[in-house]
Amino acid sequence: MPNEIERKFLVNHQLWNELKKPQGSWYRQGYLVVEPKQVIRVRQVLAKGFITIKGSAVGIIRAEYEYEIPFDEAGELIDQFAHSIISKTRYKINEHGKLWEIDVFDGDNEGLIIAEIELVSEHESFVKPEWLADEVTKEEKYYNYMLAANPFNSWK
C-alpha cells in the first residue's frame, strides 16, 4: 500500500518574498468526499488531471493512491461533484537535498503560505530552510480539504 509521510510548516512571508524561486504552477482542486477515514480529491495542474484517494492519518503517515486522468474530465468532476474547491500556486524548491513544495494560496485562502516535505520515514531528519515558520503538521485546519471547507480568511 502506498503511503504518504509528510510534514507541513507555515512560511515566513518576508523571507519568502525575498527568496529567489522558480516559476510556480497553478493548481485547482476539488473535494468529492471528506470523511474522517477518507478524502477523495480531484486536481487540475498544468495540462493534467489527477484523482487522489487518501486514508486517515496515523501520526504523519497515511495511505495515498493517485491516478492521472484527462485534464478536461478532472475539470468536469470538480465542477459537477466537488462540494469545496481551493486554488493555489505551487513552487518546488530543492533545499539541503530535499524537495519542498510551497503552496501560495489564493481566493478565500489568500495570505496563507504552507511548505510541505515528503519523507521516506516518520523519523527521517532534514535541515529546515530559514524561510520556514511554525510546524502545523498535526493541525487539521491547515489540511487542504479543511481549507476548502473552512478558508483561512474566515478564521477569527
Active-site residue list: 31
* Rounded Cα gap, residues 60 and 39, in angstroms: 15
The cell numbers describing 140, all together, are 487539521
Minimal CA–CA distance to 30: which of 78, 81, 89, 88?
A: 78
Q: CB-side exposure of 126: number of CA atoms within 13 Å?
A: 23
In order of 54, 141, 150, the CA distances from 122 in angstroms are 17, 21, 28
Three cell numbers written together for 119 = 519523507
Query: Can you tell me the distance from the alpha carbon of 75 to that of 77, in angstroms, rounded to the nearest whole number?
Result: 5
Which SS3 state, helix, strand or coil, does residue 62 take? Answer: strand
User: What Rg, from alpha-carbon coordinates, does the chain have?
Assistant: 15
